[in-house]
Amino acid sequence: MLSKTYNLHPEDWVNKYGEKLYTYALLKSKNKEQAEDWVQETFLAGLGAKDSFRGDSSELTWLYSILKNKIAQFYRKASTKQEVPLNGLFADQENDLSLFFNEEGTWKEHSSPRDWQLDPAMALENKELGQILNHCLDNLKPGQKEIIVLKLMEGLGSKFICKDLGISDTNYWIQIHRAKLQLRACIEKKWLTKQGKYE
Amino acid sequence: MNLMVLSCQKAGQLIEKKQVKNLTILEKLQLNVHLRICERCADYEKQSVLIDAMLKKHPKQALNGQEIRLSDEIKQRIQKELDKRIKK
């Protein structure tokens, strides 16, 4: 009997995907040990469910969905524990947009982007700017940081993220835009202040 | 209303959409026209792309500076558990 194999390589999982899954797990729990356990459970469950892999997503995406289910299960069981909220980001939508745009959707003078006077290649290496980014990420509303970070995680894909956040495809980049508006305003203020160029 | 006129708010959304998926031909046109005449949105785009590039380069910053490396010890532990079951 020929059984089709879909190129799963469990022996390589830890090295190839360990850190990626761990990053996602850390977004959902502040507790390192908890995140480590979830990663281990995910690999073991994946091995056990090997035969159900149909190859219609990548190995990594498949593992992500197992991890996501594990985490959901955990928070269902431990109803006293609160999942890091990823969907608290829809309140006050009009309000925070009106900080930046007037009724026609044009930038308000005092909060429109300014030139950071940075060469992008240099900016990547700039430690000060890195620290500012760090600080400003932490000042975002719950969920806003996650939506920015999740987008950049390899192998997740927007379909997965929208499901995770319980938002529609269209809402996805609208929410990214909102989060970015806050983030870039914070960075700009701190960065230009440091350069003595913020009036 | 002129089809080519895009508000800055909408332009920003398209700038973000563009990084996730393809824009329609109309959206592309609208955005390009807008970016040519609106310096502030052009700056927004530069900044948005830079922020993503920084986070990609230093993913650690995304997580409170938490070490996102799994320690070798933990990796070995997980690998061992996995190997035990693979060999069965």
User: Chain A window 82-121: which residues touch B at a Cβ cutoff of 8 Å?
Assistant: 97, 100-101, 104-107, 112-116, 118, 120
Cβ atoms of B11 and B31 within 8 Å: the answer is yes
Q: Give per-residue pLDDT as tens, A110-154.
A: 889 999 988 888 888 888 998 899 889 888 887 788 888 888 877
Q: Give per-residue pLDDT as tens, B31-78.
A: 999 999 999 999 999 999 999 999 888 766 555 555 567 888 999 999
- Per CB-CB distance under 8 Å, the chain B contacts of A47 are 82, 85-86
Q: Residue B11 and residue B1: Cα distance in Å, rounded?
A: 16
Q: What is each CA distance from A129 to A147, A168, A181, B66, in whole angstroms? A: 21, 33, 17, 18
A189 phi/psi in degrees, rounded to 5: -60, -50
Residue among A14, A130, A148 whose CB faces B58 most closely = A130
Where exactly are the structural domains of chain B?
A: 8-87
Hey, which CATH number is domain A10-77, 1.25.10, 1.10.1740, 1.10.260, 2.40.128?
A: 1.10.1740
* ipTM exceeding cut-off 0.85 for this assembly: no
Where exactly are the structural domains of chain A?
A: 10-77, 93-194
Inter-chain residue contact A107 with B8, CB threshold 8 Å: yes
